Structure formats: structure tokens, C-alpha cells
A and B are shown apart, each in its own frame.
Chain A
Amino acid sequence: MISKDEILHVAALANLKFEDSEVDSFVSQLDKIVNMESKLSSVDTTGVEPTYNMGDTNTVFREDKGIRTQTREQMLENVPETDNNLIKVPTIVDKEDDE
């Protein structure tokens, strides 16, 4: 059983916030899904290596040479707010943090 507190903790880790009105339905849905996933514990995997990656290539090397990709202007085209060709964001360090 996954608790509401656990869900709120995971939401904080994921940079997500839920309205009070939607938390309970999320908790019950996630509980059902996690419960389904818990059935994995019944499988004996002693000595089995996990598979995290697929593909038949490992480390790939290329010549240490500069290549042209996008220009600065192109890279900034999709930025919601810019100022003087820089990305504009709200306060990063709160005043309280400074004190």
C-alpha cells in the first residue's frame, strides 16, 4: 500500500504538484499500478544480470574536431523569455537564502 505522504514525496522529487482535489484519485491509481508491478518480487532472479541498455554498440569515438550545429540565434528561437540574447528566468537565489 502506497501512502499519500509517499506520493507527495515522489511528486516533490519529480518537480510536480497536484491539486488537493486530484491527489486522492492519483494515490489510488498509482497504488493499483505499483501493486501490479510488485508481482515482480515473485520471480527468482538470483545471479541474473540486469539489462539496462540495448543496442550492439558500446563506446563510440569520433575525431576531436569541431562541427557546426545550430547558431546562437537558432538555439534561442524557442526560449519563452530572452533578454539581450540571454535566457531570462525568475529569481534563482531567494533573498531569504542569502541571509
Chain B
Amino acid sequence: MDIKKETIASLHDKLVNKDVTAEELANDAINKINANEKKLNTFITVNDKAPEAAKKIDEDGIKGPLSGIPIAFKDNIVTNGIKTTAASKILYNFMPVYSATVLEKLEAAGAVDIGKTNLDEFAMGSSTETSYFDTTVNPWDLSRVPGGSSGGSAAAVAAGEVVAALGTDTGGSIRQPAAFNGIFGIKPTYGRVSRWGVIAFASSLDQVGVLSKRVEDSATVLSAMAGHDDHDSTSSEKPVPDYRADLSKDMSGVKIAVPKEFWHEGTHPEVLENVNKALDAYKKMGATVDEVSLPSLKHAVEVYYVLASSEASSNLQRYDGVRYGFRAKDVKNIKDLFVKSRSEGFGDEVKRRIMLGTFALSAGAYDAYFKKAAEVRTLFINEMNDVLKDYDLIMGPSTTTPAFKIGEKVDDPLAMYMNDILTIPANLAGLPAASVPAGLADGLPVGLQIIGRPFDEQSVFNAAYALQEENKFYEKIPTALKGED
């Protein structure tokens, strides 16, 4: 079966009509993953028990829309009894004894966990190149990165290994890989989805979301996993809509704001051309498009790298080689155990972030860096919310360029960080944001970014759906996979 041409709804129909069984779907997915793995390296661990779990679902009978549907999970989402590494040596052998709430909810809805996808170590990166388990490759061009940090999830969806995969997004880690792989990806409002069991990177920015070829599939998955969780006090008690049922491509009267600062000077001209084409399409559908200004945007990367690194340095203190994960050998005392386990267990990018964060939080630097960044964050949140008082959505490119070459930026952290400038704003302000395919630039996918009001994921889904139905980008097959099936 060619999963690239299927949706959750079409698979559901086939399951209900007994054209296929959940067990067959699980086996198909595993075969497809294994066949691609040498080329793409999308997974860290494939769940060998998936067909067994799927068989049980077949026996119990197909129920809701996700019943029997294979879904992939980024490997920073803990899964009871399945190795969870965060793509780090320091967790290379970590076997969780409980599952994340998102996984429990999706499994309760009948979804089948097909395995754990590759990512940048601890989700720190924009290319999947910092993974301890080697980089994932972009199915549109095998010499290019799939983006990151949810690069494994994005490439797995683009390659038709699964219809949907979960990712996490701290500064663009769902939207940027979605854009690079020509698929849809949504980071919900901060607090929409429980973070319980998601390996923490930056707790005031992290959020779990979905990547899928079709907008409607992410809508189905998000409704199933969103909502309050007693284990996460930042998860919202607001009721969760049925995003899929309420999906509408009616854009008449929708007010779209386009920040002029998103038209970044370094942005690839063909990226802008595709984004402008999408905005024209919305105008034709009856939406209005106005230019606005977000003057603090130029400081977004600075704010983000201070705050995210500070939170990371605190969150990653727990990795000390004592209770789980990698433990260094030949140590003299407990302090030596901490230092050696951390120094040998963390990769360079993670160490850089821990160092940056420790510096920003240290006596003497705290006020000028950590507190200052938190203040500028407030200014930035106010600017975003002011725009959203008058407009329904903010739009712009998801990234400044299409997928870059493997190795191009990995030794230049600053260039890699600047890459996040367009996706960071939604995380700093906690807003829902998605990337939807807008077209091709030099044969590589370009994403349109759609940012909405807090807890108005529906408007984000709707706008993405309207563009999807207009350009039907999902019919395109990733270049490097052509002639395969």
C-alpha cells in the first residue's frame, strides 16, 4: 500500500471494510521503514511489538478514527518498555517504566506506536545532525538535511512510512522540518498538550505537536491528544474542539497580518515568491492581507537563545550518571562521576547550550542576560498579541531558505541559530503555529507559516486546509523517492 496517497480517514475506511487489517498496516509500515532505513535513517528504534498490538486491535474491533493507525513518535517522548534516547549517548540505553500522556492518549484511541524517530540530541538543533545516532536525510534530496529537531518524524511522513508522526517544537522543531520535507506540521498553543513524559528541553517553550502529509490528519491526532493532564500543571483546562469535524476552507473575511520583518533580507527569493503566491491565493478566497510591523522581532533569536539555553541548563542537570543512562567508568569520587558522565555523554551542541545557559544564569550575568531576555520576551509577546487583536492570523515564510546541505552549517552554531528566526516568535509568545507546503524552490519544498491566537488552532488548521485544497501539494512525490513504488 502506498501510504503517501492515504489519509487517516481513507485507512480507517479500509480497516472498517476489512480491505486491510491493523496488523497488516503495522507490518507494512515496519517493512517500509526497514527498506528505507539505510538511505534515510528516520528511526532510532522500530517497535517490533507493533504488529502484536495491532492484532489485538483487530480482534477487539476497529472503533474510532485512529483505531489501528500506525503513528511514529519522536524519540524524546517516553514510551514504556521501548528505548527512549533523546538521540543522546547519555540516554543510549534508557528504558522508560512509564509512558508520556500523549502516547497513552493516542494508544487509548487505538493508534499503534510504530517506533521512535530520530532528532537532534535533546531536540537542540535545526538539522538532525547533532543526533548521536547519525543524521536523517531529506527524501527530496539525499544530500540535504531534513531540518530539525523533528527531522526523523518529518522525513518518515514525507517518505510515506507513516501518515502522521508526533514531534516537539521549542523554537521551530516541528514547523521547520515540515517545511523542508513538504508536509504539514503544527505546534499547538503552549498548554494545549500535556508535556508529561516529554524529555524537557526548555519548559516555558516546549510543546508537542503533529506532522502529517494532510492537514486533516494532524487535526484528528491533535484532538485525540490535547487537553488537561493532572501531571502537567501548565496544561490548559480549556475544552478540546474536534478540529477535524470543524475543518473549513472558507477564508472569506479572514484578516491576515504579514509582518514586514518576516521578509528578512537573507530570505531566498524563491521562498518569498512561493509565500507571496500563497497570500495571493488567500486574497482570491476573500481574505484580506495587510502588512504590519513587529519591531522586536530582530531580537527574537537573542531572547530565545538566552532563555532556551538557561532552561535547558537547568533541565539537564538531572543527567549525572547515577540513576539512569550512561555512566562513565574509572571515576575517583561522586563529583568525578558527574563530570565525566556528562562530559562523555553529551554531544557538543548540548554542551554549548548548557554552557550558554549556565553563563546566563550565573552571578554577574543573570540581570544582563536571563532577566533582560525575559523582559524583552514580554515586549515581544505584547507586540504579537497587539497584532492579533486586529487580525485573525499572522503569516510569513516558515524558513528563510529551503533545506540546506548536510554539513553546511553544523560547524557554525550562529548560522544554525539564525535559521530559527522566523519560527521562534510563536514559541516565545506561546501561540499556535503551523507550516503548510506552499510550493517548490529549486525543486525543494517551501513552507508557509500560519500563526494564530492562543487556543485558536482551528483557524490555523482552516487556513492551512484552504491552501492545501488549492495547491494540492500532497500529490507531489519527494524527488529522491520517485520511481520507487
Chain A residues near B (Cβ < 8 Å): 2, 6-7, 10-11, 13-18, 26, 29-30, 32-34, 36-41, 43, 45, 48-57, 60, 62, 69-70, 74-75, 77-81, 87, 89-92, 94
Contact = CB atoms under 8 A, between A and B. Distances in A.
B380 to A, nearest CB: 9
A26 B95 CA distance: 32
Q: Which 6 A-B pairs have the closest CB atoms?
A: A50-B374, A55-B234, A78-B324, A80-B327, A45-B375, A14-B358
B413 to A, nearest CB: 6
Most chain A beta-carbon contacts within 10 A, residue among B97, B233, B334, B336:
B97
A57 B322 contact: no
B109 interface: no
Interface residues on B, range: 35 or more
Contacts of B332: 90-91
B204 A54 contact: yes
Interface stretch (B280-288, B301-309, B458-466): B301-309
A89 B322 contact: yes
18 contacts: A13-B358, A16-B351, A26-B352, A29-B413, A33-B414, A37-B302, A40-B303, A40-B369, A40-B373, A43-B299, A55-B236, A55-B430, A60-B233, A70-B98, A79-B322, A79-B323, A89-B322, A92-B333
A2 B356 CA distance: 11
B376 A43 contact: yes
Given A14-B313, A41-B372, A53-B204, 5 more contacts: A15-B342, A29-B352, A40-B299, A43-B375, A87-B322
B98 A10 contact: no
Contacts of B358: 10, 13-14
A91 B337 CA distance: 10
Interface of B: 93-95, 97-98, 190-191, 204-205, 230, 233-237, 296, 299, 301-303, 305-306, 313, 317, 320-327, 331-340, 342-343, 346, 351-352, 354-356, 358-360, 362, 368-369, 371-379, 381, 413-414, 417, 430
Contacts of A77: 95, 97
A56 B234 CA distance: 7
Contacts of A51: 204, 374-375, 377-378, 381
Given A54-B430, A56-B236, A92-B334, A30 B356 contact: yes
A97 to B, nearest CB: 10
A81 B28 CA distance: 40
Nearest to A78: B324
Contact of A10 (B321, B323, B359): B359
Contact of A26 (B299, B337, B355): B355
A33 B356 CA distance: 8
A37 B362 contact: no
Interface of B is mostly: helix
Contacts of B230: 60, 62
A17 B343 contact: yes
Contacts of B306: 37, 40
A50 B379 contact: no
B147 to A, nearest CB: 21
A93 to B, nearest CB: 9
B337 A89 contact: yes
A94 to B, nearest CB: 6
Contact of B325 (A38, A40, A78, A94): A78
B233 A33 contact: no
A89 B332 CA distance: 10
A43 to B, nearest CB: 5
B379 A48 contact: yes
Nearest to B369: A37
Contacts of B351: 16, 18, 26
A17 B339 contact: yes
B80 to A, nearest CB: 10
Contacts of B317: 15
B346 to A, nearest CB: 8
B362 A13 contact: yes
Contacts of A91: 332-334
Contacts of B204: 51-54
A60 to B, nearest CB: 4
